[in-house]
Amino acid sequence: MLKQLVLETIKNKGLINYGEGVIVGISGGYDSVCLLHVLYSISKELGIKIYPVHINHMLRGEEALRDENFVRSFCSSLGLEVYVKHIDVAKKAKSEKTSLEEAGRNARYETFSIVAEEQGASKIAVAHSRNDQAETILMRICRGTGLEGLRGMEYKRDNIIRPLLDVDRYQIEEYVKGMGIEAVTDSSNLHTDYFRNRIRLNVIPAINEASGADVTENLLRLSKIVVAEDDYLRYNSELYYQKSVLSEKRMYTELDLKILMEVHQAVRLRMLRIAVGKTCGTLNGFEYIHMDKLNNLIENGRTGAQIDLPHSMTAVRTYNSLILKEQGKVIRKQFEEILQFREKLKYKMKV
């Protein structure tokens, strides 16, 4: 039974504590309708208060308005008040210089966070399923991910939870139809303009046909194997990162070059990701090529060598450290060490 499966996932993964407020993103599609209905049906058992949130992306005209009206009606039938926000995602994508997919995602999570703060809710529930998990992993493979990307989406990350991550899409559809609930279909989900849709509609069926196996199951199995090994590397990388930190300030991180040189490259690359994340506040926009450049700066760079990074960041190799900083920031210590190094060379040459 789907409801029991979701309840077990919530309890086993510690997704919701008794009495918490939960923001539930609802588009009107099968997945989100299922999520809201299930959480509503177990809300008394968990002692939780539910706050549905719907975002009208203003991309599909009358169809988007249809979805909004459906969500209002559905939430009303459950006795829930829905928070609706209209956001011009096309305009947002243009101003942020990103894709419609990314802009839409940003709009949703920004709104979820705002409503969560207003209502005092501590969790944000989104309706990703097992199939979404497999699609995400395959998308990351296509983009050249490492072990961390193969983990897939987390059941819980910060205050975002995914109670349907153990549920298959066909189970979701069966639940919605079996409960006599309606849902709407977003026509954009059938278009192959978006990368995820191409993976879902074209790539996965083609792989299944070519291999004679269910690639979804295999990808999920791969993810479980990776999680255990990745956790081990994460733990050790964090330990070495803490040992290597010479300074951590806003938009400035300095790491001990000797420790970076001594550790295995697999650990070093993770240490660099940690450093970048702490310095910039995000890893968005950072790809393998950037980490590879940082690694090359450590192994082969000269004192004073530097590289430019996304988000207006610069990495500088000093005599005994690696510095990540905001571009244009004057680092006195860097130049002092270079001068000291040159003085030592002059002294040796004279001797």
Do 211 and 337 have their domain in common? no
Element (H, E) at 125: strand 123-125
User: Which residues touch 48 (CB under 8 Å, ≥6 apart)?
Assistant: 16, 18, 19, 20, 21, 22, 39
Q: What does the pLDDT average to over 135-144?
A: 92
User: Which residues touch 54 (CB under 8 Å, ≥6 apart)?
Assistant: 25, 26, 27, 28, 67, 68, 71, 72, 82, 83, 84, 85
pLDDT at 351: 46
CATH of the domain at 257: 3.30.465.60
Q: Is residue 222 part of a domain?
A: no
Do 106 and 6 have their domain in common? yes
Task: Tally the domains of the chain.
Answer: 2
Q: Is residue 243 part of a domain?
A: no
Residue 330 has pLDDT above 50, yes or no: no
Give the residue from 194, 215, 236 where a domain finishes: 215
Do 49 and 123 have their domain in common? yes
pLDDT, one tens digit per residue, over 165-198 is 999 999 999 999 999 999 998 777 777 878 888 9
At residue 33 the predicted structure's pLDDT band, cuts being 50, 70 and 90, is: very high
Helices (runs of H) and strands (runs of E) counted in the chain: 16, 11
Give CA–CA dist 132/127, Å, rounded.
9
pLDDT at 1: 86
Domain that holds residue 171: 2-215
- Strand 156-157 relative to strand 123-125, pairing: unpaired
Q: Is residue 238 part of a domain?
A: no
Give the residue from 168, 196, 215 where a domain finishes: 215
pLDDT, one tens digit per residue, over 76-124 is 999 999 999 999 999 999 998 888 888 999 999 999 999 999 999 999 9
pLDDT at 339: 57
Lookup result for tokens 């970048």: 276
Residue 345 has pLDDT above 80, yes or no: no
Give CA–CA dist 318/314, Å, rounded.
13
Give CA–CA dist 205/195, Å, rounded.
15
pLDDT at 331: 47
Residue 333 has pLDDT above 90, yes or no: no
Q: What does the pLDDT average to over 50-77?
A: 94
Do 154 and 9 have their domain in common? yes
Do 204 and 258 have their domain in common? no
Helix (H, G, I), strand (E, B) or coil at 321: strand
Do 170 and 269 have their domain in common? no
pLDDT, one tens digit per residue, over 245-301 is 999 988 899 999 999 999 999 999 999 999 999 998 888 888 888 999 999 999 999
Do 88 and 28 have their domain in common? yes
- Strand 123-125 relative to strand 160-161, pairing: parallel
Q: Is residue 72 part of a domain?
A: yes
Q: Is residue 231 part of a domain?
A: no
pLDDT at 16: 96
Indicate if the alpha-carbon torsion angle 82, 11, 147, 129 is positive or negative.
negative
Do 42 and 109 have their domain in common? yes
- Please give the structure tokens belonging to residue 236: 């050790």
Give the pTM: 0.77
CATH of the domain at 198: 3.40.50.620
Q: What does the pLDDT average to over 301-310?
A: 92
pLDDT at 282: 85
Do 207 and 261 have their domain in common? no
